[in-house]
Amino acid sequence: MSVDPARTRELPALAALGRDELNKAVSGIAAVHSSVADTVFAGLRVALGARARPAQMVHDAISTSVYSAITSTVDVAGDLAESLTVHSNGVPSETKRGAMALGILDGLIGDQLTAERSPLAPDAAVRVNGAVVPITPDGLATAFPEASGHLTVFLHGLMETEFAWALGDRPTYGARLADDLGSTEVQIRYNSGRHISDNGRDLARLLDDLVLLWPVPVTGLTLIGHSMGGLVVRSACHQGVARDAYWPKLVRHTVCLGTPHLGAPLARGVHRATAALRLWPTSRPFGTLLGRRSAGVRDLFRGAVTEEHWRDTDPEAFSQPAVDYPPLMEGARHLYVTATVTQRPDHPFGRIVGDGLVLTNSGGGRDRKHHLGFEVDDGFHIGGAHHFTLLNSDAVYDWMLPLLKPRRALPPGTL
């Protein structure tokens, strides 16, 4: 019997990554320690002159040996954990808890893991119960025995996986739409630490194959994204239209739930904090730590959905250039949902905080300088809710359902 490569690769990779990250953490602590000690001994040299130098030499020798010993211990423990996990039968990425942990990891350093060809960096794929569905006629027919011609495709957000849609003690949007509209729920997992445009390209290619090999003829697509997932949807539509792919012609609706179309304030805050922390030696290690944030997180500074948005920019620059947003795809209706932690969106606190991660104007793609094309009548707002409420909300579903129903054709000769 053949062994699934994921069973022999994911757990050892996690052990090795844990060892590497602990070593980096120890190095960061050592750098802070050294910086603080240098400051202290500089003051002592002013007061005591050359008499302070022997004490500094002893201190440096002891601290260096201590941190070296810690690093060696971490290496030994990592090697032991890596050898033990080879004999484990679990596949973390196929379990809810494991997938959630890996989703957070990918959101933080997923671009790095992809560059290293780590098994912890997932390719964009359809998943059912955590397992990858082969995009082949047999694979799709087995995974979707009751496939219909209308697919409702779901894209999760940053540091999430497809399991996020099951938030709360109620069926997912996709399961309810299957009952009410006869559509088929298709959940996709992707590496949210990569550039949004890269994930958009992969989603567009995945939809190429999905539509071609689906068990029955595809008559319609609805694309639903939460947070970053909405940006990936927009990027995929833009790239699919640019190369004249077939599937964009089948898209009836896109739905963006709490999507930072104009950027997220938290991403901008982290970016600026990183630049500020790097100005002083003592805080520079913390700036270096924040500076390791992934390409996906960096894209949220402005809501960058195309490669042109980031290709020729300096990701470390304090001020990032303005973005020329592509228009919404023609031929589909584009719905959006925003939320505020306050009941009223115009409450002063609600205007500053939004849903905790995304501001209302960004979620609607409209401010004083930008208007992406979302119509006011195609939007919905929830008060007294947070960012993750939008993953599975009765209020959102009740608003969305009638808008996703196929429109009846008008009799000939009528307007």
pLDDT at position 246, please? 97
pLDDT of residue 402: 96
**Neighbour-count burial of 251, counting CB atoms closer than 10 A to its CB (0-12 exposed, 13-18 middle, 19+ buried):** buried
| CA–CA dist 150, 236 (Å, integer) | 18
Say what the pTM is: 0.78
Cα 211 to Cα 219: distance, rounded to the nearest angstrom:
9
Q: What is the mean pLDDT of residues 300-324?
A: 75
For residue 401, how far is the Cα from the chain centroid? 26
Both tokens of 386, joined, read 């947070």
Rounded to whole angstroms, how far apart are CA atoms 239 and 201?
A: 7
Confidence (pLDDT) at 191: 95
pLDDT at 28: 47
CATH code for the domain defined by 91-407: 3.40.50.1820
**How far is CA 382 from its chain centroid?**
23
The residue type at 285: P
CA-nearest of 372, 371, 352 to 360 is 352
Query: What percent of the chain is modeled with pLDDT above 70?
Result: 67
**pLDDT higher than 90, residue 136:** yes
Tell whether the model's pLDDT for residue 89 goes beyond 60: no
Output the CA torsion sign for 333, 340, 369, 233.
Answer: negative
pLDDT digits (tens, 9 = 90+) for 252-279: 999 999 999 998 876 666 655 555 555 5
Token pair for residue 19? 């060892």
Interatomic CA distance for residues 168 and 391, integer angstroms: 9
The predicted pLDDT at position 409 comes to: 47
- The CA distances from residue 51 to 42, 45, 58, 283, 383, in Å, are 12, 8, 13, 28, 66
- DSSP output for 294-309: -HHHHHTTTT--SGGG
Find the mean pLDDT for residues 23-39. 47
Indicate if the pLDDT at residue 117 is higher than 70.
yes
For residues 105 and 84, the model is more confident at 105
Calpha distance 212→251 (Å, rounded): 14
- More reliable by pLDDT, 96 or 207: 207
- Taking residue 354's Cβ as centre, other Cβ atoms within 10 Å add up to 26
Predicted confidence at residue 66, as pLDDT, reads: 42
- Asked if residues 74 and 22 have their Cβ atoms less than 8 Å apart, the reply is yes
Rg, Å, the chain Cα set = 25
Specify the pairing of strand 379-383 against strand 251-257. unpaired
DSSP string, 165-183: GG-SSS--HHHHHHHHH--
50-84 pLDDT, tens digit per residue, is 655 655 454 455 444 443 543 444 344 444 444 44
| Residue type (1 letter), 103 | G
- pLDDT mean over 129-145: 96
| Mean pLDDT across 171-197 | 97
| pLDDT class of 3 with cuts at 50, 70, 90 | very low
> Where do the H-state alpha helices sit in 244-393?
265-277, 284-291, 295-299, 348-353, 360-363
Pairing, β 150-155 against β 220-226:
parallel
The model's pLDDT over 188-216, given as tens digits with 9 standing for 90+, comes to 999 999 999 999 999 999 999 999 999 99
